[in-house]
Amino acid sequence: MREFSETYLERTREGMWDDSRVALEPLDLEGRERILDVGCGTGELSRVLAGDSPADCEVVGCDADTDLLAVAAEHVPVVASDAYQLPFPDDSFDLVVCQALLINLPEPAAAIREFARVSRDLVAAVEPNNAAVEIDSSVDSENALERRARRAYLDGVPTDVALGADARDAFEAAGLEVLETRRYDHVKTVEPPYSEAAVLAARRKATGSGLADDRETMLAGALTESDYDELRRAWREMGRDVVEQMEARTYHRAESVPFFVTVGSQS
Ligand SMILES: C[S@@+](CC[C@H](N)C(=O)[O-])C[C@H]1O[C@@H](n2cnc3c(N)ncnc32)[C@H](O)[C@@H]1O
């Protein structure tokens, strides 16, 4: 199972759902009594669900990683569990939802089948298409290099991290009827004054440490060791340009990650 850190989840989810919740409307959060957020991590989505559902609606978070669950537990009740074998009786919830979980599972349809077992009404998945991320940066080389690194990463990862709207296939394979799919573009911008997290991210680019975290995954795909070394050299150079522009307060970056909300129910 791929592991995620608390800081990674906080950084990648920062501001998510703050600008628009239109894509979550089919979940009918205002009408819910008991919601399960599977693969909740630090509970970033659980907090949105709890905030938008009635005060007496119970939102439960569940994840296999107990360190992340300890953070989620500060906001919602949590249960440690595998997504394929949920420790709840049939029909325990009226909405079972996950965010960025299916892209990390080798058998997404089996998980959806288990979600449907414990839901008496809706099942929903919020999944990104990581192959369609777009970057607009004031450092010319950043977009092309990030695309190259992303392609190498996607190639080496064993699950479908570009699942996005294709989550529909997993719902259908699990015997669910897909009621609706909506798109939400999570746009993160970096501009002056720079946050501490943005400065740290720039430094990680300049040292190449961010890329090094994904080295093993990249080498599991088509990338050779010398391709990786060359990519890391260019990456660090790009990182130094980012740091330089930050010092001159001229650095701007916008990253757009398309997420797809798939909602289904037992047909
Ligand atoms: C990309 S994170 C998403 C976390 C959270 N849903 C969010 O959007 O911020 C994926 C999460 O799925 C969890 N996970 C992966 N495989 C799992 C499994 N088989 N059962 C339960 N949780 C799992 C990981 O521990 C991690 O917290």
Q: Tokens 């260019």 map to which residue? A: 234
In angstroms, what is the span from residue 2 Cα to ligand 1's centroid? 9
Q: Are strands 93-99 and 34-38 parallel, antiparallel or unpaired?
A: parallel
Q: Whose CA is nearest to atom 11 of ligand 1?
A: 39
For residue 85, what is the DSSP state? B
Split the chain (267 residues) into runs of 10 and give each run's mean pLDDT: 87 92 98 98 97 98 97 97 98 98 97 98 97 96 94 94 97 98 97 93 92 92 95 96 97 97 93
**pLDDT score at 246:** 98
Helix or strand run (H / E) with residue 153? helix 140-156
CA 139 – ligand 1 centroid, Å: 33
Q: Report pLDDT for 159.
A: 95
> In CATH, what number does 6-130+160-187+258-266 get?
3.40.50.150
Q: Is the CB of 46 under 6 A from ligand 1?
A: no
**Ligand 1: distance of its center to the CA of 37 in Å?**
10
Q: Reduced to 3 states, what is the DSSP secondary structure of residue 7?
A: helix
9 lines ligand 1 (CB under 6 A): yes
Q: Is 262 exposed, middle or buried (0-12, 13-18, 19+ CB in 10 A)?
A: buried
Asked if residue 104 has its Cβ within 6 Å of ligand 1, the reply is: yes
40 Cα to the center of ligand 1, angstroms: 6
- Spell out the domain ranges in the chain: 6-130+160-187+258-266
| Smallest CA separation from ligand 1 atom 27, residue | 41
Ligand 1 within 6 A of CB of 13:
yes
d(Cα 223, Cα 115) in Å, to the nearest integer?
36
User: What is the model's pLDDT at position 1?
Assistant: 78
pLDDT at position 213, please? Answer: 87
What is the separation of C-alpha 16 from the centre of its chain, rounded to a whole number of angstroms? 10
Cβ count near 220 (within 10 Å):
14
> Which single residue is written with the structure tokens 């009404």?
121
Task: Name the β-bridge partners of 135.
Answer: 255
CA of 101 to the centre of ligand 1 (A): 5
User: Which residue matches tokens 């703050």?
Assistant: 18
pLDDT given for residue 147 in this prediction: 94
Q: pTM for the complete prediction?
A: 0.94
User: HSE (CB half, 13 Å, CA atoms) of 256?
Assistant: 7
